[in-house]
Structure 1
């Protein structure tokens, strides 16, 4: 039996996912979380086999939550779920160790198949995501500047863009404030920005953070 944790902030979406997965043989939904913080707590308590992770969570983002879960429980398989496959999320998440990536436009059959695939130790990339990754490799294809960031730099960049302080980020990712400051200025250099306001503008422009954040 595959123990599955659903992490999704929209109640109606969770109901829809449960409606699909409750009828899938061999899959047991052991919990639901509507925030990254709640997901971290449930992971420690329930130790799921697979996590269906919405990337666009309020507060602690799905990207940040996935980073922290994989550091604490590297054996957990995370299947990222998002509204779009836009770069740089797919590549950065796969580099980080996420087992699969689907858009919310996928079929019910593909969702169930993907959960089973990643549980078996393989990777699953949805058709839309695969197309986005392939397009990004074409000569002359437009690239997001965030694609130049390492997974750790991406994690720090998102937290900075959300207004978190260096000391708070250091505590969250268990490194020194000096290390976070080093990441910060490398991020600024790679993205060509000189402030957290400029970083936020770039994150919004590249659809990494909602403009309402």
Structure 2
């Protein structure tokens, strides 16, 4: 039996996934969460085989959740499900430890295939995403965010959501001084001097959606 939790701030999306998955005799929905924070608590409590996780959620992001699960050496495999299909974004999430990546336009058959494949310990990439990753490798197209470490990218995503350094430090178990160092380093690497510029650059490269950018501008 494959135990699954759903982590997405849109109830309609969770309902759609649940209706597809719960019809399968080998898959069981163990719980649902409307935020990454709640999702992390569910993962720690229930230890499901799979967590289907959205990237853009209020509060903690999907990449932060992925990194925390991996850092804590939890049993759960992360499958990212998002509207973002830019090749650079799944690359960073896969680097962070996600084992699967789907777009929300996937079919029910693809969703089921991904859950079963990742549950067996194998990576699953949506065909369109896999093709983009291959093409990005072939043509050498680089994102400025490729120069950031996973922790620097995590700090960047929290900064563009307006979180102060002290709160970022608390959530990442880092001192404000260390967070400030990460902030300075990532802004130097990206050649930006303001969080608004950082948000714009992240939106251009598909790391946040434009609505999130405008909300934080």
- Establish whether TM, by shorter chain, passes 0.5: yes
Superposed CA deviations along residues 56-93 of structure 1, whole A, max 9, x for unmatched, are 21221111122222222432100111113114221111
Alignment of 1:57-72 (within 5 A): 57-72=57-72
- State the match for 1:188 in structure 2: 187
Distance of 2:209 and 2:121 partners within structure 1: 33
> C-alpha offsets along residues 143-178 of structure 1, whole Å, 9 cap, x if unaligned?
321222121111111001111111211111112222
Matched, 1:84 2:84: yes
**Alignment map for 1:35-74 (pairs within 5 Å):** 35-74=35-74
SS at 2:211 equivalent: coil
Deviation at 1:34, TM superposition (A): 1.1
The answer on whether the counterparts of 1:103 and 1:128 sit within 8 Å (CA) in structure 2 is: no
**Residue of structure 1 in register with 2:201 after alignment:** 202
3-state secondary structure, aligned to 2:101: strand
* Deviation for aligned residue 1:44: 2.1
C-alpha distance in structure 2 between counterparts of 1:88 and 1:17, whole Å = 25
TM (norm. structure 2) is 0.91
2:3 is aligned with 1:3: yes
Of stretches 82-91 and 152-161 in structure 1, the one that deviates more from structure 2 is 82-91
Runs of 4+ in 1 over 4 A off after TM superposition: none
Contact 2:66 2:97 in 1 (8 A): no
Aligned positions of 1:152-171 closer than 5 A: 152-171=151-170
Match status 1:109 vs 2:109: yes
- After alignment, is 63-72 or 33-42 more displaced? 63-72
Q: Check the 8 A contact 1:92/1:150 in 2, yes or no.
A: no
Given the alignment of the two structures, is residue 122 of structure 1 paired with residue 125 of structure 2, yes or no?
A: no
Separation of aligned partners in 1, 2:179 and 2:131: 34
Q: CA 1:32/1:115 → structure 2, altered by over 3 Å: closer, same or farther?
A: same
The CA distance in 1 between the partners of 2:11 and 2:210, in whole Å, is 22
Which residue pairs with 2:12 in the alignment?
A: 12
Q: What is residue 31 of structure 1 aligned with on the other side?
A: 31
Unmatched 5+ stretches in structure 1? none
Asked if 2 retains the 8 angstrom alpha-carbon contact of 1:63 and 1:93, the reply is yes
Residue-pair matches, total: 212
Residue aligned with 2:210, SS: coil
